[in-house]
Structure 1
């Protein structure tokens, strides 16, 4: 029995294969899904699902890189800390106080204030010392008179008029000494010692051995204490004032002798300072018409001398033609 099989289909031609591939590509292109846009992370890459540990480590690395970049900048090291500023302020203040302490005007003012304080303290102490001896002098002057009798009352006036006379001499010498004119006249010195000897003798006499009924050294010392303090003050005060009068504060024209030489010295010092100021003006370190304060700082002199130099410069400046 013979079976008749159908003829196999003919093989496709190359043109049919090309058309089939093209149709397949068009079909796939038409039915391909559109991909979603992935969000961009802070690090510039597409967002991926990362574990918490990875995100933490990534943040630490980013922070470390930022800190490394900032640590290379020395700008914070150039700033002063509060402690450094405090020290600089204290150092600047100490330097200015040191310079002010060596300023001639300041030294003269300090010396005058100290001298006035010492003179005042000395005169107050002298007054108290003489007042202390008043009771002893009254006992000597009363000579056993009854209380409140005329002799007893007038005996209280002996020490005051002696003390007032002594204070007149000492006060005059003290004042003239503060003015730079100490008085060393022998007559005034003898008057002082006479008053002090009278005060000392009248205080000590009733308590001397052989005069007092019962000698007591402590009573004698207490009664002569006031006159001894007065003697010490009267002796020391002129010496102290003379030393103050000889102080040299570094000021041009400080009085050191008679009037004539002092004035000549002042003129010479002023001429030297004026010449230095002109040299500084020519060198450009001072303006053409400097003020007294600038001259004082440039020359290191007192304000009075700086004003004199300023006036001399203005007087000698030729007028414009």
Structure 2
């Protein structure tokens, strides 16, 4: 085999590998794997952070009660009560973010209230004692949990969007008249031409007017809404 033939063979093999690596389904699968890793690491950090606060909250709730007395034992229930409500909200948001369903304002209020309650109970004794080092020590875990629960919701939403965009690419490149492949811009142009003032731009409307995929329609709807808003 000549050098030119060997290079041609290598090029063909490389093209085949790249075709599989850039296939929308393969890309979407990789993003899903990243999502699982992000969820696992985020949940681990959140649970560990809440576990750290448990002892401090128990100390706050038990105050000067005798060790192993009923009030002392009952104080251990306070932190899990708040934490379980928070974890229930986060678990629900894990599902809603997966399908890009927006939750109501009370969900965020409940999340913030449980986080604020955990922070106050975790740091109250240190604030009353005026111990700066203890305040910092007991502030870091609940604040990390607070930031994490806010960030992980946005991350899940964006990862879902990335999966939908990747999956939608398969429909983006379908043939149109003249043998040319149909691009995102073609779908957008169709949606733009179909839109009229007063028409709500939703993914369902975009699919109805352009015949695009369910995965691509949210992206098209966002783009067209931005165009309309900017005039």
TM-score, length-normalised on structure 2? 0.68
Give the one of 216, 220, 225 matched to 2:135: 220
Name the counterpart of 1:16.
Answer: none
Superposed CA RMSD: 2.7
Name the counterpart of 1:126.
Answer: 46
Q: How many correspondences in the alignment? A: 181
Higher relative contact order (CA 8 A, sep 6+): 2
- 2:171 aligned counterpart, secondary structure: coil
Encode CA deviations 1:57-92: one digit per residue, 9 max, x unaligned.
xxxxxxxxxxxxxxxxxxxxx556xxx96x888765
Encode CA deviations 1:251-271: one digit per residue, 9 max, x unaligned.
328xx9444543554x467xx
Distance 1:245 1:153, change over 3 A: same
Name the counterpart of 1:142.
Answer: 62
1:187 correspondence with 2:106: yes
Task: Measure, in 2, the Cα distance between the counterparts of 1:125 and 1:262.
Answer: 40
* Structure 1 gap segments, 5+ residues each: 1-77, 270-321
TM-fit CA distance, 1:179:
2.4
| Equivalence map 1:272-311=2 (5 Å) | none
Encode CA deviations 1:163-195: one digit per residue, 9 max, x unaligned.
1100111110111111232x2421100000000
1:197 correspondence with 2:116: yes
Distance 1:217 1:105, change over 3 A: same
Q: Which structure: larger Rg?
A: 1
Contact 1:134 1:160 in 2 (8 A): yes
TM-fit CA distance, 1:110:
1.3
Name the counterpart of 1:177.
Answer: 97
Encode CA deviations 1:96-129: one digit per residue, 9 max, x unaligned.
3322221111111112221222122212211111
TM-score, length-normalised on structure 1? 0.50
TM-fit CA distance, 1:142:
0.5
Distance 1:89 1:79, change over 3 A: closer
Contact 1:115 1:178 in 2 (8 A): no
